[in-house]
Each structure stands twice: as C-alpha cells, then as structure tokens.
Structure 1
Amino acid sequence: MTGAADCSLGAALRALRTELDLPGAFPPEVLAEAEQAARAPDLPAHLDATDIPFLTIDPPASTDLDQAMHLERRRDGRGYRVLYAIADVAAYLRPGGALDAEAHRRVTTLYFPDDRIPLHPTVLSEGAASLLPGETRPAALWRIDLDGDGVAVATDVRRALVRSRAKLDYAGVQRQIDMGTAEEPLALLRDIGRLRAEQEVARGGISLDVPEQEIVEHDGSYGLAYRATHPAEAWNAQISLLTGMAAARLMADTGTGILRTLPLAPDGAVARLRRSAHALRIDWPHHVPYAEVIRSLDPGRSNHAAFLQECTTLLRGAGYTVFEGGELPDPAVHAAVADLYTHCTAPLRRLVDRYASELCLAATAGKGAPEWVREALPALPKEMAEGTRRAGTVERACVDLVEAALLEGREGELFDAYVVDVQDRDPAIGTVHLRDPAIVGRIEGGTAPLPLGERLRVRLTRAGPAAGPVLFAPA
C-alpha cells in the first residue's frame, strides 16, 4: 500500500468510528473502578488450582486471554479429562456499577486494523483479568471427563485460582505436534480434538471452512490475505464447543439460562443449495445430508470454495434465547452444533459469557442464579443481537476500506477472479474472489448470467476509501 493510500485509509478508519457512533474512551469513573478492581478483586471461596500447568493457545499478539487448558488421561484409563479455565470477569465487576453499565453499552470488543475498542478497560482485559503466563488469576474452572470415544460423561465447574505456564500460538502448536516434539498435555489436543470432531460428525454438526479475508499489518501498512487455518485451531475450537455444550446442558437441567440458538435451514434454502451444487458440479446424492457434503469439500478448489460460501446462507438467523421456569425455548438447539449450546468461553470480549458462567457456577453449587444475573437476563438477547450486528458491520467495513485503499488508483485494470455468489433475482450481479490481492468484491454491469464457481476475467470499476466498497465488472 502506498503512503497516500495509508493516509486515506487512516482518515477513513477515523471517520468510520464517528459514522457508526462507536464507543470512544472509557469514562473516568469506569477507569477508576477498573483500577480499583484490578488491585482488589472479589475472590470468595476459590479452589487453589495453581499447581495445574495450564497453557493458552491464541494468536501471537493477543493479550486478552480468556481461556487456559490442561488435558490429561483419566486415571482409570477410560478416556480423557479436559480442564478448561475461563477468566472470571465477575470477580472484577460490581453488578450495577460503572464498569458493569459500560460493558452493557459496549457488549463486545470491536477490532480495527490499527486498534481495538475493548469491552473492558485494558487494565482488566489485558492485565489483571487476563490469563497471562506466570500470573495467578481467578477463573471458572471446568472439568469435563470424556470416555475413549470423546463423549462427555461428567461435568463440573467451580471458581478456582489458576496460573498459566505458557502462552502458545497456533503455528507453534501445530509445528510441535507435526514434528512429534509435543509432550502431553499438549499432544493430547490432537487426540481429543479429532475425537470431538468425530462426535460432531455423528450428531450431524457442521463446521464451515470458508476462505476468510484477514487484514495483515507489515511495517505500519495494511494488506489482505486469505486466512489459512491450522488443524490445531480446529482442535482448539472443539474444546471451546465442548465447554459451550456442557454449559448449555447444565443450564437446561436447572431450568434457567441463555442459549445460542440457530433454527434449522428451511427447505427452500436447502433446495437452493442443491441447485448451486449442481451448477458447481459438486456431487450431492439425494440420500446424503448437506453436513456430510460440506465435510468432503476442499476450500482450495474454486468451485468448492464457492459452494462453501453459498453454505453460509444456511447458518443465518443465529441468536440468543433466554429461558426460565424449566421450559426450553423453541428452537433450543443450534443447528450447526446440532445440540444445545451457549457462549461461555470468552468473557473478556463478549458480554453474555459472564452471565453464562455465573448460571453454570450456581447450577453446579446447587444454588439459584444470583439476583443480578436474573435481572439482566431478559435484556441480554437484544443487547447481544445489537452488539453482534455492530461487530459484523465494523469487520466488513474495515475490510472494505482496506480493499479500497489497496486498489486505489488501479481503476480499469484487469484481474483474474472466480465467482462465489450469484443473485437469484439478477444473475448478472454477484460476488467474486480475487486471489492476488485477496479481495472479495461485488460484480455488476454485465448482461449475461455470471458463471457460478468459474474463473472470470474482471475489470476494476471503483476503488478508493472515499468511493465506497470496490466494484468490478466482467472484462
């Protein structure tokens, strides 16, 4: 990216914060309360688990570390034990205080190429509450026992003091496991992750491996790349999914909770997907469920990548649903997880997770949910919906701006692309992926239907942060 493009991008990012009316600096009373809480958290009846050698796995630059894990074989030789420590944010926030009110206003951490807008002041989210290596921290400590097939057979969660021993990243973990140098407990991540993935297949769950754009920084400038995931990332995600499912079951058993729900895709959406599969020359026998087809795809092949992009339409409509009085909502299941599920593993970055942790801790202790939790529950679905929408808007707007800055001044140039989406109402309008640079943009202006899943030569017709999202036309 040129210096001029960097300048225009910086100005556009600043304007975006104003345009979307995003939170700015924390008010003084919030910062003061955070500083006090960092010095003196509320630590009632915590189990001392600092002897367990926990580790964290996150992107290299992350300092807001929500989760730490320790994996081991069960002493009876019948499976595995997952110990999963989740940052205990409630130890630092006083219900009804300034910190709590500000968290409800922000809802989620928002990420920009040059900065982030955190859910909590960094003295907590990247300091006192973060599970940083070598530091003793309060946590909600999950113990989930699995049998030899990876099925959960026992669950427990309680407050504990923990201390992480190592901060690892996905690339390093993958390298150790591939080279055979990883020792237990790290080596068990692959074994447990694979077993849990097999359980996902058995229950009909799906995980979409869709090529995603990622903003990358180099020497103060920004570019785009398609995010390459390591198997270790998927194994790690299975541990988080396992915990979210265990938490949802605990809440369901006690009759009060908040679930992450997703309705089953309507028949019309599946029928549309079958038409796309046919157009993309993807074999989909009528007796095979779509989850099985998705798992057979290779995102490195253009027609498969286009079909995976189409599959995301089946995952729209996710939300948060509160239930009380023992009656589960309808729907109660998250269709992609194919089970009851809730968010509970990222309380430093997402508001709802703090409440899910408190509900589960109360359930395990045989107590009713704290009053401050029950009072907040009814409003949480709407708050989370707004926060999730805002985070998605910020993410897409940031990518749009970086794309526009990268291509500024190149209007009229030709690029090789492939078509990943075509509109039903007008098949001459759709979406294309460019491999180099890693751009996903709208295409319009042609007269013939776009060839879904096919390579296409395209011409850039609009670029520049001030002009809006990049736009292409068939060459």
Structure 2
Amino acid sequence: MPGGFGPDALAEAGAVAGDPAEFGGREDATGLPLVTIDPPGAKDLDQALLVERTGHGFRVHYAIADVAAFVAPGGVLDRVARGRGQTLYLPDGNVALHPPELSEGAASLLPGQVRPAVLWTIDTAAGGEPAAVRVRRALVRSREQFDYDTVQAAFDAGTPHPSVAALPELGRARRELAIARGAVELALPEQEVSATPDGGWALTRRPRNDIDAWNAEISLLTGMSAAAIMLEAGVGVLRTLPEADADAVEWLRRSARALGIDWPPGTTLSRLLAGLDPSRPEALALYSDTTRLLRGAGYTAFDGGPPELRSHAGIGGPYAHVTAPIRRLVDRFGTEVCLAVTAGRPVPDWVRKALPTLPELMSASDALAAKVERAYVDQVEAWMLAERIGEEFGAVVLRSEENRAEVLLDEPAVIARTAGGNLPEGERVTVRLTAVDVAARKVTFERA
C-alpha cells in the first residue's frame, strides 16, 4: 500500500485548502437543506442529498464534492492521485487518495460548512424514470451528517428527516426499474470488522438495510445519467461488465434446481433474486454462485463515438462513476466531461488526454483494494479462531467444488474454506476447525 504523503503534496494541499469565498462564479445553492448519509465517523464526505416530491414525480438534488476545484491538472496532487487510484479502507484507518487537508477538510461536505460542489438536479417521473438532468458547479452547505442506521431508525420510528422523507418511495421505484432492466442485486451480508473494548478486533455480519439500498439507488441514478450524457457526446469513461454467456446462466439454473429454488420459465434472474429470502441458506448459496456471473467488470474509455461495450450487466445499463471523487480517481474526470458537455463547452484537453490511461489505473487500484480487504478480514478471522482449534461450528455451505467448499459460519461471521469437497450447497452442516496459521492469515476446517 502507498505510504504517507510527501512534503510537496502536503504543501500543495495546504495552499489550495482556502476560503470557500475564493470559489467565485458559482451558483449559490447554500439554501438547499442537503444532508449526508455515510458510515459512522466518516469524514471524507463525497455526497449530500435532498429528495423532494413534485407534482409529477421527484426532484433529486445531489451535491458531489468538487475535488477538481482543489487538484490542478498536472500538479503534485494530480500525479499522486493517479498513482493511488482510490482510498484504501481498513478497520484502523485508511490510506487516502488525497491528503486529509482536502479529503477530510476543505473538499469534504462536512455539516455546516460552505463547500464547492458539483450539483446534480434530476427530475423524475412518478415511476422513477429520469425526465430532466442538470449539472453545474455550486456552493452548498450540508445541514446534517447521518449514518445509515440512524436514518433507518428514524424511518422505523416514523420520524424521518424532511430532506430524505421521500427517499423510500423513490428508492423503491428505482429498485423496481432496476429489476425490470435485469440488474443483479445480491443480498449477501457484509463481513464487518470492528474494534472491541479490550483492544482486540471482532468480525460481525452486517445485513444490508433499506437505507443502504435506497441511498445506493440515488448514486446509481446519477451514474446512469452521467453515462447517458457521455454516450450522447461520444466521450467519457464508463464502468462496464459484459453480459454473462448462455452457458454460465444455464449453469446457474442447474445450481438453483440443486438448491431446491424454483426458477420458472420466463422469470429473469433479477426478478428471481429479488424474490428470495436472504435469511434462507439456499438463497445465500445462490447469491454466492451468482457472483461468478459478475466477474470481469472494468472501465471503458472512449473519445470520438460510443464504444462497442457500453453497458454494465450487473446494473442493467450504461453507468459511470461520478459520485465519489474524494475517494476514487476516475470520478473527477467523468464529472468534468459531464460539466463540459451539458454547458456546451469542449471537454478540457487534460481530461481527454487522461481518459485512455484511466481503465488501467483504476483496474490496478481495484485489485489492490480487494486484496487489502481480504487480507484484513483473513487476519481478524485467524486472530479470533487461534485458540479454538478442535471446536465445531454450525455453518451454511455457500459453494462446493470437487476438492474444497466455502462455508459461512453461524458465529463468528467467518467465511472459510473446508478441506474436501462435495458438500451440499445451501444446506446446513457442522464443521471442525483443524488448524490456524496467524502469520499466514489462514484457517482450515473440515466437515465434522
């Protein structure tokens, strides 16, 4: 992983982290009651939103941190960010894409602070389809900083914040459109590492709540709107994933039959997955099997016309990253394309020159981020189980192959491999912990 920021990068960050009044010529949108929804304790706040009902549907105001206002093309910060690609998150901190003076300070949409932003305003029909999209630079001021569980609790209590009171209705409408598009949504629980009071680490299973899903739909709506702008202009960079081939889908159908899941003819995979109960073992197994259909995602840059591959099979349509520029490199460039196109201006030369390099930079950083996450989860699993060799655990078989199987323990929330294959996918089994290698971050189970 990258180390700390050098003195040149820190000096440049300190020099540009100035007074918001310096960002003149922008629309004053500080009167919009925007709020942020992020994990607890987050400081690198990329997005602030306001969802309103209108006479014909909904209006979404989505403010995105304007990182390009601070990062000069070709400067030290720009070069450092291109080398990093994205922020790497760990349980005890992160390795940031930009210095904290920007990522957690001047560029972050912190509550009560006037910040430069790229403001998307998207009007939709009652069913959630976008009808009009406007994007421009503005000054904004977030009113509140919320986390997912707090917002969910407010909705459960019937006291949602007014700025997001319409989010469930729009979120459900967008989810139904996603299913109709063929989007693939997997309700696999997330493994979450957290500190314990005694200074250790715990691994828990965090199911995705409604707020997670609805908030994600706003980001997807914006990203799909950005992709439409880029494709019409014939210039930009998309997040892409080819459609799964017929053999892979037929393999998944066989898997569903083996798990006892009815997949009626004419029912799309998207509709099937949306109707499963994520608490059922067979559903978890099918979700796990479906991840094979989502491999191979990448980035497609184009200039001079739409590319041959322009869609993301997991989303069910064209999509571009533009909503997280503080923590992801590509978003800054995609945003500049959208700003220029919608204003009738040429896309800046520095953006056009960078486009061909972005797919390789982002793919490399995505691979590193995946390795980092797997490494710290594996490490915590090994620490937690080091003194429990010989114990037996209840588990669900997620995936089974000839010589090994992947299981999800009931407690702790460990996903592990077992020696020997041919375990029944989607069924409950008992496994025995046979070995733990803390230095290698490896645990070994066998069927009891």
Q: Quickly say closer, same or farther: Cα 1:65–1:183, change in 2 above 3 A.
A: closer
SS in 1 for 2:370: helix
CA contact (8 A) 1:409 1:464 kept: no
- Report the CA distance between 1:78 and its aligned residue: 1.1
Tell me the alpha carbon deviations over residues 314-367 of structure 1, each in whole angstroms, 9 at most, x when there is no partner: 1111100001112x2222111111111011101111000111111100011101
- Report the CA distance between 1:162 and its aligned residue: 0.3
Q: 2:279 aligns with which of 290, 300, 309?
A: 300
Tell me the alpha carbon deviations over residues 264-309 of structure 1, each in whole angstroms, 9 at most, x when there is no partner: 0111211111121111111112322211111111111111111111
Q: Given residue 196 of structure 1, which amino acid in structure 2 is its aligned partner?
A: R
- Counterpart-to-counterpart distance in 2, 1:329 and 1:400: 39
Q: Does 1:214 align with 2:187?
A: no
- Counterpart-to-counterpart distance in 2, 1:467 and 1:320: 33
- Counterpart-to-counterpart distance in 1, 2:383 and 2:437: 5
Q: 2:168 aligns with which of 165, 169, 190?
A: 190
Partner of 1:9: none
- Report the CA distance between 1:44 and its aligned residue: 5.0
CA contact (8 A) 1:432 1:442 kept: yes
Partner of 2:23: 43
Partner of 2:204: 225
Partner of 1:338: 316
Partner of 1:243: 222
SS in 1 for 2:300: strand
Partner of 1:457: 430
CA contact (8 A) 1:401 1:465 kept: yes
Q: Given residue 456 of structure 1, which amino acid in structure 2 is its aligned partner?
A: V
Deviates more, 1:181-190 or 1:260-269: 181-190
Q: 1:161 aligns with which of 128, 139, 164?
A: 139
SS in 2 for 1:470: strand
Q: Given residue 80 of structure 1, which amino acid in structure 2 is its aligned partner?
A: F
Q: 2:108 aligns with which of 130, 137, 148?
A: 130
Q: 2:59 aligns with which of 81, 85, 102?
A: 81
Q: Given residue 355 of structure 1, which amino acid in structure 2 is its aligned partner?
A: F
Q: Does 1:323 align with 2:302?
A: yes
Q: 2:386 aligns with which of 391, 405, 408?
A: 408
CA contact (8 A) 1:131 1:164 kept: yes
SS in 2 for 1:404: helix
CA contact (8 A) 2:49 2:163 kept: no
SS in 1 for 2:185: coil
CA contact (8 A) 2:188 2:207 kept: no
Partner of 2:36: 56
- Counterpart-to-counterpart distance in 2, 1:414 and 1:78: 58
* Paired residues for 1:57-456 under 5 Å: 57-74=37-54, 77-219=55-197, 220-326=199-305, 328-423=306-401, 426=402, 428-444=403-419, 446=420, 449-456=422-429
* Paired residues for 1:24-39 under 5 Å: 24-39=3-18
SS in 2 for 1:39: coil
SS in 2 for 1:185: helix
- Report the CA distance between 1:110 and its aligned residue: 0.6
- Counterpart-to-counterpart distance in 1, 2:75 and 2:270: 45
Q: Quickly say closer, same or farther: Cα 1:102–1:40, change in 2 above 3 A.
A: farther
Tell me the alpha carbon deviations over residues 430-457 of structure 1, each in whole angstroms, 9 at most, x when there is no partner: 101101011001111x3x6211111111
Structure 1 regions of 5+ residues with no counterpart?
Answer: 1-21
Q: Given residue 60 of structure 1, which amino acid in structure 2 is its aligned partner?
A: P
Q: Does 1:473 align with 2:442?
A: no
CA contact (8 A) 1:103 1:351 kept: yes
- Report the CA distance between 1:40 and its aligned residue: 5.6
- Report the CA distance between 1:106 and its aligned residue: 0.7
CA contact (8 A) 2:390 2:434 kept: yes
- Counterpart-to-counterpart distance in 2, 1:406 and 1:178: 34
CA contact (8 A) 2:35 2:163 kept: no
- Counterpart-to-counterpart distance in 2, 1:281 and 1:182: 40
- Counterpart-to-counterpart distance in 1, 2:342 and 2:188: 37
CA contact (8 A) 1:224 1:437 kept: yes
Tell me the alpha carbon deviations over residues 241-281 of structure 1, each in whole angstroms, 9 at most, x when there is no partner: 00000000011111100000011011121111112111111
**TM-score where L is the length of structure 2:** 0.97
Deviates more, 1:91-100 or 1:171-180: 171-180
- Report the CA distance between 1:176 and its aligned residue: 1.5
Q: Given residue 119 of structure 1, which amino acid in structure 2 is its aligned partner?
A: L
SS in 2 for 1:366: coil
Q: Given residue 68 of structure 2, which amino acid in structure 1 is its aligned partner?
A: A
**Percentage identity across aligned positions?**
51
SS in 2 for 1:418: strand
- Counterpart-to-counterpart distance in 1, 2:190 and 2:250: 25
- Counterpart-to-counterpart distance in 1, 2:195 and 2:213: 24
CA contact (8 A) 2:393 2:410 kept: no
Tell me the alpha carbon deviations over residues 406-445 of structure 1, each in whole angstroms, 9 at most, x when there is no partner: 001222221111210112xx2x41101101011001111x
- Counterpart-to-counterpart distance in 2, 1:257 and 1:285: 39
Q: Given residue 443 of structure 1, which amino acid in structure 2 is its aligned partner?
A: T
